[in-house]
Amino acid sequence: MTIGRDAIGVGLIGAGRIGTSHAQILAQRVPGLRLAVVADPRADVGGALAQRYGARSTTDPYALVTDPEVEAVVIAASSNAHSELIVAAAAAGKPVFCEKPASLTLPDLDAALAAVADAGVTLQVGFNRRFAAGFRAAHDAVAAGAVGTPQLMRSLTRDPGLADPAGVPPWTIFLQTLIHDFDTLLWLNPGAEPVEVYATADALVAPDFKAAGLLDTAVVVITFDNGARAVAEASFSAAYGYDVRAEVFGSAGMVTAGDGARTSMVLRDAGGLHGETARGDVELLGESYVAEFVEFGAAIAAGREPYVNGRDARRALALALACAESVRSNAPVALGSALPVNGRA
Amino acid sequence: MTIGRDAIGVGLIGAGRIGTSHAQILAQRVPGLRLAVVADPRADVGGALAQRYGARSTTDPYALVTDPEVEAVVIAASSNAHSELIVAAAAAGKPVFCEKPASLTLPDLDAALAAVADAGVTLQVGFNRRFAAGFRAAHDAVAAGAVGTPQLMRSLTRDPGLADPAGVPPWTIFLQTLIHDFDTLLWLNPGAEPVEVYATADALVAPDFKAAGLLDTAVVVITFDNGARAVAEASFSAAYGYDVRAEVFGSAGMVTAGDGARTSMVLRDAGGLHGETARGDVELLGESYVAEFVEFGAAIAAGREPYVNGRDARRALALALACAESVRSNAPVALGSALPVNGRA
Amino acid sequence: MTIGRDAIGVGLIGAGRIGTSHAQILAQRVPGLRLAVVADPRADVGGALAQRYGARSTTDPYALVTDPEVEAVVIAASSNAHSELIVAAAAAGKPVFCEKPASLTLPDLDAALAAVADAGVTLQVGFNRRFAAGFRAAHDAVAAGAVGTPQLMRSLTRDPGLADPAGVPPWTIFLQTLIHDFDTLLWLNPGAEPVEVYATADALVAPDFKAAGLLDTAVVVITFDNGARAVAEASFSAAYGYDVRAEVFGSAGMVTAGDGARTSMVLRDAGGLHGETARGDVELLGESYVAEFVEFGAAIAAGREPYVNGRDARRALALALACAESVRSNAPVALGSALPVNGRA
Amino acid sequence: MTIGRDAIGVGLIGAGRIGTSHAQILAQRVPGLRLAVVADPRADVGGALAQRYGARSTTDPYALVTDPEVEAVVIAASSNAHSELIVAAAAAGKPVFCEKPASLTLPDLDAALAAVADAGVTLQVGFNRRFAAGFRAAHDAVAAGAVGTPQLMRSLTRDPGLADPAGVPPWTIFLQTLIHDFDTLLWLNPGAEPVEVYATADALVAPDFKAAGLLDTAVVVITFDNGARAVAEASFSAAYGYDVRAEVFGSAGMVTAGDGARTSMVLRDAGGLHGETARGDVELLGESYVAEFVEFGAAIAAGREPYVNGRDARRALALALACAESVRSNAPVALGSALPVNGRA
């Protein structure tokens, strides 16, 4: 591993929570990548982050995209800006890593995927769970046939807390949170396509914000064309910490991933047995954020498609959007005709 | 504990798999109960079972019910005979333990509950999972407020194998199997009522029998009036053994029950870590079958309502029937008006 | 399973804690055995226990041994009476089950084993851990070669509490408690013989009783002739409950048994993860006490040696006695010449 | 975190397996440290490692120590060179991190500690297990009184394989491997001092090398002045991978650390339950190697004693040496007079 002159210069758009985490990883932990420029509308925030790693900063993401030192673009901006920034990076002929969701609408995403395809550039999407060791091992077991044909599946996300209910846009639980679980379930049922979705959701954590569109608790059932039924569930407020798990039950067995443990410590006393739970996503899944950028660098270097691509982004987004429709109609939603792939992805 | 002259004489109806298990428990393991008479249409089968424990036998269940030595009736006959036999036992003024489901229809069940109420006799239903130590501990934690208000729940049943697909009546997966999970979920969400059910089911284990009505794989989502969403799932063919688990996630934490382990043995070798899974319900939940009859005997002795009663039977059955309707209509089914309690339960 | 006229009549000597437990098992849970007579010097205690199961009682254990209805003898008396009672039962030609330790000295034990051999009767010793499912599975894995040749072994016993330090005879921790672990380690290293023992012990729970000879905490290292080193450890006061575990590490892997869990329930809340621990031996190992008597009944019926025999009793006792010598001398004790088998066992 | 001009320049002595791992950590993962120079007698090996991270290289460790760009020294050379290199670094007034064991003899270590004390520089020793999250949590629980007074303790190390038995110096199992466990046990029994050691060891993995002094399997019992007995055990060949665990049983409970799991994945199939085991120390304890250097940088920056210091090195070494004596004499070794602290540590 070398971080030197010959490393690919990365431009990072967004210096928020996840952008800050990405900056450290890009600056220090990925073979062949180096942090060159940071863009954030808040000059002081972006500047401070850039300086920490000896990078430059700008308030203009489009200037970053065309900066000659920027050879690859990492997008960690607001979700509603994602697809436009993908288009801009593709226009500049630069490989792109985009945080999930790659877009909030299918037409915008299709436009972005078309731009990427036309430019022939790499697009990777931030489904980091695929790079978490336990999930990867579960996937490999499924892919190797260890559980036979998937029949009953499960993926869940429980976040430790809902900081600001007022600031949560409608459908966030599907578009931002469960989109991870949708990608996980699609990935863990290789070769199968979802044909129907049923979703139910509520504001149980912050009921006062339900009228404003907040949904903080949701359950989704996906029916696949191989007959498998998958359940995805999410909550924005887990008292015990961050909890991400998956389960695939099939004709030959079952595989599970995720245990929510922070450490291996177990205490037994007069009150029974006690252990520690992980309090945040970095505590639980930190290495997966490094591994996804190792993959990004490797895919660029090899000129190949990354492990998570635009098609994956589209399939998960389509499920998220169908969930919103199912909640609105309180009925299962068929996916057959709802998922035309307009782009060239 | 005494099994002697003063123990209550029990008449057992049904000498099949579960009846045989019940016979041994009633004969030997329950304070205050003794096996007096066994009824089974197959004279040789019932006779052999009775003889093993020094009891008498008959081929006529109605003769058993009125037998003077029979002071309490345990029904382990075909499900479609359950409600009539409850009525007969009630008419004879005798306390009844009935295997689940107590009936296959709500009108029949309501008639049975009315008979029981009129006669003032005890009715217990065979939801044994309530007496499994892990489930009981989970319930007690929920009841003590340890997880706060339930928000996301789960209960599942996976059976090791589907012996005879041709012999499985339609809707069995809801009426016979998931009815356990429905009871579990109702029990683990104390004070809440289900308001809507969505169910999806398929024949993935034995697809050739789908046309004949077999459903061997199912997922159900229940919405409760306290907002909680519960998922129940079942499969008739778990390659790794018998698997029964529950999970309650609430505003203050999460509790889980069931681990499917057969023993505490763990082997680590060049292939990784290995353990044993439970192969059958008796292996996994054996003690719960004893405990439910201990409760039956105690309730009779104390002249009190047993821990699992006719109302519990009705609530679980109503959910099972609503699932069938949901599968037929491929739509969520509201429970509000669908569940009139006609009987006096 | 039949408990009737043709079942073997068992005479139980001792109506203390373990005798009471054995009585219930012998009366109700073992095919082919029935409780016929109970002997205890306290007429009221023995009488009450006998009456509970429809048996007779006596204050004279020797009268019990020669009682014509007694076809087999179960000894749960004081340890120092064990060997004499074995001799008496053997003289009466009756098969014997004796609680551990079968004797407190090797000469007495050898005399008892010789009497048993001369009479040609069955002798089983109460090493119940061999019948606990997890331990049995571990043994079977070792016997099948799953861990290769044992190299590092461990067995431990931790009791929940020390009720009466004043009433504990010297060396109890080796003769009464660790003797279970010695048997376990001998059993889990098939074909190997111990060649040296080092033991260290102290009164850490009740230091005021150390002067009176109490040892409540001990660690033992056994060296076997196949090179394996085994550690046995015990404490008389485990705050978290009853804890019994074993571990065999060998050239091809490792197997462990025992997890101290009471139920499968796990609670996660703001304080982390919580579970339940087993509070007593019956809670943790209850089924093993049934299984050892099932074996006793089966061995008698088949006229064969039981799974745990006099030779096992002698090997474990020899280790316990060597531990006492090691503590006295604060040096390892060679076992080679110390273990002449004088008897005919 | 900044890795820039103001970061402390580190000189790394030794480009072997652990030196290579340290180089990457020092170059990229520690706030305030940067890799400046690498020294290795093999010019090509040291040069390649240095070049990978933009550092300089030398074949002379003493030149490295006095290099003006080197502001702190990390020693990962042969163990027999450790103490001399510590003396040299101290003479140059530079803080030192030294891999364990800091020395192979007490006189040499005392000389090194005296040099460090005279120079007033920082000395940290590479007991990385203290920085592993599970072990740290266990220590914190003990320090908080969660288990009361320690009574029975355990620490073990099992390495996946013995690559070259011929190249293993005598007593390596105590001086290089179990020294980790000795430090762990001393650390987990705060305020207590060891008073006696008994050790037994053998060549079970590679018996042909026993005559040459190889010991690949060992068990140690340490008696502390607070009465606690601790068992340390090691094997050089664990078929299932790398296994490091600790257990502290005390008057109020028990805490354990280490589970040997590689991921959270669990597979259940017709053969039971299966998981993955960690195959190497970096897989199991990787983050602890980063954390120990974060501590090193922080201690230097704050001008304070590091969390693991020269006194810790001496206590663990004294135990390792006493083990050798115990094996030679086949007797417990009293530590009282054997551990004079000649140095000024």
Q: Is residue D342 part of a domain?
A: no
Using a CB-CB distance cutoff of 8 angstroms, which residues of chain A are in contact with residue B151? 204-205, 217, 235
Average pLDDT over residues D143-152: 97
Q: Answer whether residue B120 shows pLDDT above 70.
A: yes
* Spatial contact of B277 and B284, defined as CB atoms under 8 Å apart: no
Q: Do B269 and C147 touch (CB under 8 A)?
A: yes
- The C-alpha atoms of residue B78 and residue B110 are separated, in whole angstroms, by 18
Q: How far apart are CA A205 and CA A237, in angstroms?
A: 7
pLDDT of residue B343: 32
Rounded CA separation C274/C262 (Å) = 12
- Residue A137 and residue D265: Cβ atoms within 8 Å? yes
Verify that D298 and D264 share a domain, yes or no: no
Interchain pair C237, D221: CB under 8 A = no
Is B3 part of a structural domain of the chain?
A: no
CB-CB: which of D217, D253, D331 is closest to C151? D217
Q: Helix or strand or coil: residue D203?
A: coil
Q: Which residue has the higher pLDDT, A260 or D201?
A: D201
Confirm whether B2 is domain-assigned. no
Predicted pLDDT of residue A5: 54
Q: Which residues of B touch D237 (CB under 8 A)?
A: none
- CATH code for position B212: 3.30.360.10
Query: What residues contact D78, with CB distance under 8 A and at least 6 apart?
Result: D14
The pLDDT of A20-38, averaged and rounded, is 94
pLDDT of residue A28 exceeding 90: no
Inter-chain touch A29–D24, beta carbons under 8 Å: no
What is the rounded CA–CA span in Å between residue C238 and residue C215? Answer: 15
Residues D177 and D75 in one domain: no
Q: What is the number of structural domains in chain B?
A: 2
pLDDT, average across residues D217-246: 97
Q: Do B253 and C270 touch (CB under 8 A)?
A: yes
**Residues B152 and B31 reside in one and the same domain:** no
Do B77 and B202 lie in one domain? The reply is no
C275 and C158 both lie in a single domain: yes
**CB B268 within 8 Å of CB D260:** yes
Q: By 3-state DSSP, what share of chain C in percent is helix, strand and coil, each rounded to 5?
A: 40, 25, 35
CA distances to A315, B35, B98, B174, B291 from B127, rounded to whole Å, are 42, 21, 10, 14, 11
CA nearest to C264 within chain A: A273
Residue-wise pLDDT tens digits, C146-175: 999 999 999 999 998 887 888 889 999 999
Q: Please report the pLDDT score of residue D279 as a whole number.
A: 87
C147 with C254: CB under 8 angstroms?
A: yes
- Using the CB atoms, write b or e for C179-206: b if 16+ within 10 Å: bbbbbbbbbbbeebebbbbbbbbbbbbb
CA pair distance A334, B236, nearest whole angstrom: 26
Q: Which of A240, A244, A269 is most worth mutating to test chain C (most C CB atoms within 10 A of its CB)?
A: A240
Give the mean pLDDT of B267-278.
Answer: 93
Whether residue C341 lies inside any domain: the answer is no
Query: In whole angstroms, what is the distance from residue D44 CA to residue A73 CA?
Result: 37
In a domain, B1, yes or no: no
Nearest-CB residue to B263 (from C54, C133, C269): C133
**pLDDT tens digits, D39-87:** 999 999 999 999 999 999 999 999 999 999 999 999 999 999 999 999 9
The ipTM value here is 0.94
Query: Could you say which of A240, A269, A273 has the minimum Cβ distance to residue C268?
Result: A240
Of A2, A28, A265, which has the smallest distance from its Cβ to D141's Cβ? Answer: A265
What pLDDT is stored for residue D339 in this prediction?
A: 45
**Number of helices and strands (H, E) in chain A?**
10, 15
| Extended strands (E) in D150-271 | 150-158, 194-202, 217-224, 229-235, 243-250, 253-257, 261-269
D296 lies in a domain?
A: yes
A239 closest CB neighbour out of C261, C262, C270: C270
Angle at C197 between CA C194 and CA C199, to 5 degrees: 150
* pLDDT single digits (tens) C300-311: 999 999 999 999
What is the value of pTM for the model shown?
A: 0.94
8 Å CB contact of B204 and A251? yes
Q: Which residues of D touch B240 (CB under 8 A)?
A: 268-270, 272-273
Residue A341 confidence (pLDDT): 38
If we measure between CA atoms, which residue out of B343, B170, B109, B152 comes closest to residue B253? B152
pLDDT per position as a tens digit, D273-283: 999 999 888 88
Tell me: do A244 and A137 sit in the same domain. Answer: yes
The rounded Cα D254 to chain-centroid distance in angstroms is 24
Across residues B56-68, what is the average pLDDT?
A: 98
What is the DSSP-derived secondary structure letter of residue A209? Answer: G
- Is C151's CB within 8 Å of D332's CB? no
C235 with C293, same domain? Answer: no
State the nearest Cα–Cα gap between A39 and chain D, in angstroms. Answer: 19
A147 and A278: one domain? yes
* Mean of pLDDT over chain C: 93
Write out the residue range of the structural domain in which residue A75 sits.
8-128+287-308
Residue B246 has a pLDDT of 98
Could you tell me the CATH number of the domain that includes residue A123?
Answer: 3.40.50.720
In percent, the amount of chain D with pLDDT more than 70 equals 96
Residue of chain B whose alpha carbon sits nearest to that of D262: B272
Query: Is D319 inside any structural domain?
Result: no
Q: Please tell me the predicted confidence (pLDDT) of residue A343.
A: 32
Q: Are residues C27 and C134 in the same domain?
A: no
pLDDT tops 60 at residue D35: yes
Q: Residue A279: what pLDDT? A: 87
Torsion D107-D112-D113-D115 (CA) sign: positive
User: Within this chain, do residues D194 and D168 fall inside the same structural domain, yes or no?
Assistant: yes
Q: What is the pLDDT of residue D338?
A: 45
Nearest CA distance, A227 vs chain B (angstrom): 7
Chain A residue with minimum CA distance to D140? A265
CB contact under 8 A, C332 and D204: no
- Subunits with at least 3 CB pairs below 8 A relative to chain D? A, B, C
pLDDT tens digits along A179-227? 999 999 999 999 999 999 999 999 999 999 999 999 999 999 999 999 9
Residues D111 and D163 in one domain: no
Q: How many CB atoms lie within 10 A of CB D334?
A: 15
Q: Which positions in chain B have a beta carbon within 8 angstroms of at least one beta carbon in chain C?
A: 1-4, 24, 28-29, 52-54, 133-138, 141, 146-147, 252-259, 261-270, 276
| C265 neighbourhood in chain B, CB within 8 Å | 133-135, 137-138, 141, 255-257
Say which DSSP state A101 is in.
P
Please check whether residue C302 lies inside any domain of the structure: yes
Domain match, D147 and D278 both: yes
- pLDDT at B157 (0 to 100): 97
CB distance D267–A3 less than 8 Å?
A: no
